[in-house]
Structures are given as C-alpha cells and as structure tokens.
Amino acid sequence: MDVAQKINVFHSLDSKSTCIPMIKSCSFGIAILTLISLIAGLFFQDLNSETSIGFVIDFSLYAFLLFAVFKWHSRIAASCLLLLSTYSVYLTFMVLAGVEIGGSNLLISLASFWLSLRCTEATVKLNIFNKKNT
C-alpha cells in the first residue's frame, strides 16, 4: 500500500478497498487504547477484588470483540464493541459527575467510542459492498 493510499480514521468509506484497512486500523487503535487504559488502571488506582474483576472482564470483552472484528469483520462484534464503548463513555461521565466509582479517562473513552463508531460503519459498508458484488 502506497503512503498516499493509507487509511486514517477520517477517510471516507466508498469502496471495499477502503473498508478493510479502516476496520483493521480502528481495531488496532482500540486495542492500544484498551491496553493504555488497563495499564493506567492497574498502576494508578487502588485495587480491590471488585475493581480487579472489573478490569479483567472489561479487558476480556474488548479482546474477544476486537479479535472477532479484526479477523472476521463481524458486524455483530463491531456493534457490541460500539455498545461497550458507549457504556464506557457513560460510566466515565458518571465518575466525573461523582455518581459512580471507576476510571476517569475521558479522552480514552471518547477516542474508543469514535474508533468503534467508525469500525461499525466500516463493517456495515463492507457488507453492503460485498452484497453488491454478488
């Protein structure tokens, strides 16, 4: 792939050749953000059994869904990833409002939400382009 043809998260999705790199780059970006969030949570928060289990479940869900999106370009997994990141943004706003207990990484939550939204859009459009070709 040429440097001029590299796909970024703001690129338009007008063909199958742009959807697949968008899915891969968005899922890779969400994986990096998830690892940053996990490492920050493990080192900078007081851990008890409840938050440790929450970290493990959160990381496991993200890992499973990201694998399904990256490997099979699954629309269902991308939609579940979007729901999970939407819930993460909601919880982050609740933490900042003082209602809930948890992480307060607003920038990571919003970036993860944006990437999962673009990933979901790319998987849906990829399915549309695949149906047009058959």
pTM (2 d.p.) = 0.90
Q: What is the dihedral of CA 57, 59, 62, 67, to 10 degrees?
A: -110
Percent of the chain with pLDDT over 70: 94
Mean per-residue pLDDT over the chain, rounded: 88
Cα three-residue angle 55-67-25, rounded to 5 degrees:
100
pLDDT digits (tens, 9 = 90+) for 96-131: 898 877 677 899 999 999 999 999 999 999 999 999
pLDDT digits (tens, 9 = 90+) for 19-40: 999 999 999 999 999 999 888 8
Q: Which residue, 126, 127, 111, 132, is CA-closest to 22?
A: 126
Q: Say yes or no to pLDDT of 83 above 90.
A: yes
Cα separation of 61 and 47, whole Å?
20
